[in-house]
Amino acid sequence: MKTSSRIICAAFAGLFAATLPSCKKEQGCTDISAVNYNPDAEKDDGSCTYSNDTTPAYLVPTEYSFTNVNYTGQTVRILLLRDLSSKIGTATTTTVTAAELNAIYDNSNALYASIATNKKLSDKVSDQATKDSIQVWFSQIESLSASSNTYVRADGVDLKQMVEKTLMGSVLYYRAVNDYLNAISLKDNATVTPGTGTVMEHAWDEAFGYFGAARDFNSYTDAMIMSPGTKDSNGDGVIDDKSEKCFYYATTAAKRDDNTKGMSEASKTDFTKHLFDAFLKGRAAITNKDYTARDNASITVKRNWDRVIAATVLHYINEVKADLASSSPDLNKHWSELKGYAGMIKHNPENLLGTTGIANLESYIGNNPTEITSSKLASAASQIVAAYSFTTEQTNGM
């Protein structure tokens, strides 16, 4: 996100006016070691840059085109998640069994073996409680599809969205942050294995793989990112799942940037560029054993990824707000997406919301769409804005 100008005390408009802080804390870079450190900023906005980021003594490529790059396992899990969500979607016309869903979840049919073998979603879920929830939801989908041709429960919970968003958080995001980025300094960076590089290089690549970006991501417009499979970068007539498509979090980042295009400069975001550039800088730094730059890049990735998720929570708060006002049939879907994205925040231990903020947010959102109210939405928005210092424009228009 671009560093914002000083935000002066102002009232928030619309639904959130009564509950959000009346004075905005200034956003900017709060890291004193960064070249764009802002001593007046009270909330970090993910914009920090560092001297060795801007003038490194080695080449930082413009594409993720390093030697010995391999994140095929991450690509397969993303494709399995896509297939799992698609399969659940067919429950509106046919019975979808728990066994069929588990076959994709466990990859028991060895799907995408041409990309990588022995990869599954089920063995990468963050915790047992989440695994248990997934199995309950699979059984509920089977029952609902058999009896009513739906995947939406009687209380309004959209199980397609719950499964997809829960696995986005508990597999893709959790593993990228905790297995790879937070442990990157512990990895070996001396022994090179052909095809995968050093253990440290490979770990960084795997984190990038879970982000879901094409290798020439900076050359894609937001529209291209939001419509995967529209750019054949190498002109071979095939859109390659491994290098030319954008999935899940990469797409989500582009959607949030697209939301802010018509806003003032202080409110526009550039999550896609901040994240991709940081992934490029971190990988180049590891190869060149520049560990300060590696750590700076890791911080930038985690901060911006956290902000993308928080901004998406705001987006769905606004969607649900509009649904309530118009009695829209989209309420169940949007509430479930809100619930799913809110549940992702905890997977980054360095999230800005914190344990208490997360608990409060989950309490406001509730357990199903029948519990949500305009007042609770306002409180949920207030919780996010207080932690992430989104501007008024972003809060109301994200």
Which residue's structure tokens are 């993720």?
Answer: 64
What's the pLDDT score for residue 338?
A: 98
Cα–Cα dist 82/42, whole Å: 39
Could you tell me if 29 and 44 are in contact, meaning their C-beta atoms sit under 8 angstroms apart?
A: yes
Which pair of structure tokens corresponds to residue 370? Answer: 């029948």
What's the pLDDT score for residue 39?
A: 57
With 0-12 / 13-18 / 19 or more C-beta atoms within 10 angstroms meaning exposed / middle / buried, residue 144 is buried
Could you tell me if 321 and 344 are in contact, meaning their C-beta atoms sit under 8 angstroms apart?
A: no
Could you tell me if 46 and 1 are in contact, meaning their C-beta atoms sit under 8 angstroms apart?
A: yes
Q: Of 186, 214, 208, whose CA–CA distance to 198 is shortest?
A: 186
Which pair of structure tokens corresponds to residue 199? Answer: 């253990």
CA–CA distance from 38 to each of 34, 35, 71, 392 (Å)? 9, 9, 36, 21
What's the pLDDT score for residue 385?
A: 97
Which residue's structure tokens are 């896609």?
Answer: 272
What's the pLDDT score for residue 47?
A: 77
Cα–Cα dist 235/231, whole Å: 9
- Helix ranges, the chain (H): 51-54, 72-89, 98-105, 128-148, 159-167, 174, 199-211, 222-226, 248-259, 271-287, 291-326, 331-342, 354-365, 374-388, 392-397
Cα–Cα dist 184/345, whole Å: 21
In 3-state terms, what secondary structure has residue 12? coil
In 3-state terms, what secondary structure has residue 23? coil
Tens of pLDDT along the chain (398 residues) come to 333 333 333 333 344 444 444 444 567 787 645 667 675 676 667 777 765 555 678 999 999 999 999 999 999 999 999 999 999 999 999 999 999 999 999 999 999 999 999 999 999 999 999 999 999 999 999 999 999 999 999 999 999 999 999 999 999 999 999 999 999 999 999 999 999 999 999 999 999 999 999 999 999 999 999 987 778 888 888 889 989 999 999 999 999 999 999 999 999 999 999 999 999 999 999 999 999 999 999 999 999 999 999 999 999 999 999 999 999 999 999 999 999 999 999 999 999 999 999 999 999 999 999 999 999 999 999 999 999 999 999 999 99
What's the pLDDT score for residue 318?
A: 98
pTM exceeding 0.85 = yes
What's the pLDDT score for residue 278?
A: 97
